[in-house]
């Protein structure tokens, strides 16, 4: 197995708008991030992924870019960015940038020019079509942010495609000039010294040939617009191979594609060592389906088996588009601390690059605002707007709240003070009222906090490459609340036991683990120092054990019988 820095990395995502505000205008900014670099290196993460910091009118908080080589005024200047890069590198932290090239802002000069006339040399940089009969949009595709995915441009009488908001027109990747412009921009950032890209909806850049109508579900009131075939269209792999040839392969950098709509087998096609496309991907199976615990295990097993020896995996349970992981996969009530620690234990010992999201290291939770006026996300606001004429505000909020993206976007909770220590002014979005108890300052003071658990796990992972490169196999039951697995290398082996429930469980370990395993990291301060045949697991108990030299497991290393028995655990 070839070792690489990026395989060993733990990535921490920063949503700059909500991280740290240095000048009291209520908006997080680059100097704010710089001021937190010491905190981040104390924590022990390796790579920072910055959600977009480019010039943007902020229709979708920076995912609508109007200048790829400029910095958003609210966030600072290019000089601030250069300082961030230097200061991060000084501390051994790397920086990866968000690459949003499925679409630009409608205020990007490319689109302004494209829209200016049908004969503009940049007309074909975007996807323009004549209206359908009766002036209707060219097809029935639904935008991710509600309504038609087409917007009529009155001046030219043509529609342009936007899979996201109408202020995010899709680029036409069939045009070689578009591809060249994007590649030039990528080289420019790489030459500046960035360490990689996270690639926004990168598997949507190849459009379905002919832009066909999507099938309408049968029923009495068929919807006017329906989701189209947006992801993984023919041609996508050729585009990414070209991007690799033209740009990526020239740098020792990290790449991670946001890849919706794949399974373990089709996901691998994007990152297989021999496919020369991307190095890594986010897949969303586990984030979307893994709330069902046996399903989570099954998915981890499936992805591990598919990727083993063929490509490098990653693992993430939340980001700026999703609910908070402790609220979704754990218990943000009485067992918040314990369940957040269990989730951390899983993320930092499971196979694949862990992607952490700001605030998860202190167990930040979903938010529950009473009024739509306190929400900011375009997806949420549009959905609300579409329904409010027919339904009550309370009903809509009750339905949208749990899944909404603003759960992840409330400001980072640094202190119990006003503005959660995020800003001395009025934060652009209200802080979660629970910052009085859940904040970095308080967590640092408490060695049993979620924060210290992350810190300890991060240090432990760094010191023990088996947790990165070792084999993985599930141990014991595939049903029930306890998820146990082994990570093993040539020199040592780790057993991870997670009681993914609020119920205490009497757990019987397979014989081969019953002796010689000592506890190295535990979620409860009073964990038993040794594993034994029968373990009484407390609610949300999470424990990592290390096989001591001379334990039965290590004595079996290389023993065919032991190995196949282990593998079959993982496959069951």
- CB nearer to ligand ISL: give 201 or 348: 201
Of 9, 15, 21, 405, the residue at the interface with Ca ion (CB under 5 A) is 21
Nearest to 523 by CA among 351, 354, 352, 349: 349
17 binds, among ligand ISL, Ca ion, none (CB under 5 to 8 A by kind): none
- Shortest distance (Å) from residue 200 CB to ligand ISL: 5
- CB nearer to Ca ion: give 25 or 174: 25
DSSP category for residue 215: P
- Per rule CB under 5 A, count of chain residues that contact Ca ion: 5
Nearest to 11 by CA among 96, 81, 82, 98: 96
Alpha helices, DSSP H, located in 28-129: 30-35, 37-43, 78-90, 109-116
d(Cα 197, Cα 186) in Å, to the nearest integer?
9
- CB nearer to Ca ion: give 14 or 99: 14
Which tokens hold the place of 312? 């490098």
- Shortest distance (Å) from residue 406 CB to ligand ISL: 11
- Shortest distance (Å) from residue 231 CB to ligand ISL: 10
23 binds, among ligand ISL, Ca ion, none (CB under 5 to 8 A by kind): Ca ion
- Shortest distance (Å) from residue 63 CB to ligand ISL: 3
CA-CA-CA-CA dihedral for 444, 448, 450, 455, to nearest 10: 70
Contact flag: residue 29 with Ca ion (CB under 5 A): yes
Other C-beta atoms lying within 10 Å of the C-beta of residue 373: 8
Contact flag: residue 25 with Ca ion (CB under 5 A): yes
- CB nearer to ligand ISL: give 10 or 408: 408
d(Cα 348, Cα 331) in Å, to the nearest integer?
19
Residue carrying structure tokens 């999507």: 214
Catalytic residue from among 74, 258, 331, 379: 258
Chain contacts with ligand ISL (rule: CB under 6 A):
60, 63, 100, 144, 164, 200-201, 258, 320-321, 379, 405
Contact flag: residue 27 with Ca ion (CB under 5 A): yes
- Shortest distance (Å) from residue 23 CB to Ca ion: 5
d(Cα 23, Cα 123) in Å, to the nearest integer?
41
- CB nearer to Ca ion: give 115 or 430: 430
d(Cα 19, Cα 408) in Å, to the nearest integer?
11
- CB nearer to Ca ion: give 72 or 522: 72
d(Cα 266, Cα 206) in Å, to the nearest integer?
16
Distances (CA, A) of 480 to 121, 290, 299, 331, 483: 61, 14, 15, 17, 8
Contact flag: residue 412 with Ca ion (CB under 5 A): no
- Shortest distance (Å) from residue 83 CB to Ca ion: 15
- The answer to whether 107 is a known catalytic residue is no
Catalytic residue from among 170, 200, 331, 332: 200
- CB nearer to ligand ISL: give 108 or 405: 405
406 binds, among ligand ISL, Ca ion, none (CB under 5 to 8 A by kind): none
Contact flag: residue 23 with Ca ion (CB under 5 A): yes
- Shortest distance (Å) from residue 335 CB to Ca ion: 35
The residue number with the shortest CB distance to Ca ion is 29
- The answer to whether 541 is a known catalytic residue is no
Strands 54-55 and 67-71: antiparallel
SS3 per residue for 382-422: HHHHHHCCCCCHHHHHHHHHCCCHHHHCCCCCCCCCHHHHC
29 binds, among ligand ISL, Ca ion, none (CB under 5 to 8 A by kind): Ca ion
25 binds, among ligand ISL, Ca ion, none (CB under 5 to 8 A by kind): Ca ion
First-to-last C-alpha distance (Å) of the chain: 26
Nearest to 145 by CA among 126, 159, 162: 162
| Residues 553 and 352 sit within 8 Å (Cβ to Cβ) | no
451 binds, among Ca ion, ligand ISL, none (CB under 5 to 8 A by kind): none
The region of 19-27, 169-177, 474-482, 517-525 touching Ca ion under the rule CB under 5 A is 19-27
461 binds, among Ca ion, ligand ISL, none (CB under 5 to 8 A by kind): none
Residues that bind Ca ion (CB under 5 A): 21, 23, 25, 27, 29
The set of catalytic residues is: 200, 258
């Amino acid at each position: 197995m070839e070792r690489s820095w990026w395989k060993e990395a733990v990535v921490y995502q920063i949503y700059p708008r909500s991280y740290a505000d240095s000048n009291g205008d209520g908006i997080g900014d680059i100097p704010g991030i710089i001021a937190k670099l010491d905190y981040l290196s104390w924590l022990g993460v390796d790579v920072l992924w910055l959600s977009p910091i480019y010039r943007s009118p902020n229709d979708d908080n920076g995912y609508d870019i109007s200048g790829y080589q400029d910095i958003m005024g609210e966030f600072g200047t290019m000089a601030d960015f250069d300082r961030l890069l230097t200061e991060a590198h000084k501390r051994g932290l790397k920086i990866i940038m968000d690459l949003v090239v499925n679409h630009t802002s409608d205020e990007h000069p490319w689109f302004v020019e494209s829209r200016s006339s049908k004969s503009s040399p940049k007309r074909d940089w975007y996807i323009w079509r004549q209206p359908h009969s009766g002036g209707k949009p060219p097809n029935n595709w639904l935008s991710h942010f509600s309504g038609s995915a087409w917007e009529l441009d009155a001046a030219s009488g043509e529609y342009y495609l936007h899979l996201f908001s109408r202020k995010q027109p899709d680029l036409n990747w069939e045009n070689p000039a578009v591809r060249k412009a994007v590649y030039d921009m990528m080289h420019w950032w790489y030459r500046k010294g960035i360490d990689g890209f996270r690639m926004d909806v990168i598997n949507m850049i190849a459009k379905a040939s002919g832009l066909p109508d999507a099938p309408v579900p049968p029923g009495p009131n068929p919807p006017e617009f329906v989701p189209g075939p947006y992801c993984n269209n023919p041609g996508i792999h050729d585009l990414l191979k070209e991007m690799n040839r033209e740009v990526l392969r020239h740098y020792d950098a990290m790449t991670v594609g946001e890849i919706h709509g794949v399974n373990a087998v089709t996901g691998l096609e994007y990152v297989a060592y021999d496919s020369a496309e991307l190095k890594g991907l986010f897949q969303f199976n586990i984030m979307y389906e893994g709330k069902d615990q046996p399903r989570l295990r099954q998915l981890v097993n499936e992805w591990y088996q598919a990727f083993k020896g063929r490509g490098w995996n990653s693992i993430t349970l939340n980001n700026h588009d999703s609910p908070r992981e402790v609220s979704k996969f754990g218990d943000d009530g009485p067992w918040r601390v314990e369940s957040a620690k269990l989730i951390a234990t899983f993320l930092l010992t499971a196979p694949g690059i862990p992607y952490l999201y700001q605030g998860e290291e202190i167990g930040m939770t979903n938010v529950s605002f009473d009024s739509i006026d306190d929400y900011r996300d375009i997806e949420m606001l549009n959905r609300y707007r579409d329904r409010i004429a027919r339904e009550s505000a309370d009903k809509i909020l009750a339905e949208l709240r749990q899944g909404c993206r603003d759960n992840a976007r409330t400001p980072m909770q640094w202190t119990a003070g006003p503005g959660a220590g995020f800003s001395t002014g009025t934060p652009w979005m209200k802080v979660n009222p629970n910052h009085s108890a859940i904040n970095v300052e308080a967590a640092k003071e408490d060695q049993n906090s979620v924060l210290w658990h992350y810190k300890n796990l991060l240090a432990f992972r760094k010191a023990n490459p088996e947790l990165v490169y070792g084999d993985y196999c599930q141990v014991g039951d595939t049903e029930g609340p306890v998820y146990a697995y082994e990570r093993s290398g040539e020199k040592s082996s780790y057993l991870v036991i997670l009681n993914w429930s609020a119920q205490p469980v009497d757990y019987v370990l397979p014989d081969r683990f019953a002796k010689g395993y000592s506890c190295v990291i535990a979620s409860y301060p009073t964990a038993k120092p040794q594993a034994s045949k029968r373990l009484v697991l407390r609610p949300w108990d999470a424990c990592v054990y290390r096989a001591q030299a001379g334990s039965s497991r290590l004595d079996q290393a290389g023993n065919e019988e032991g190995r196949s028995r282990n593998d079959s655990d993982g496959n069951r």
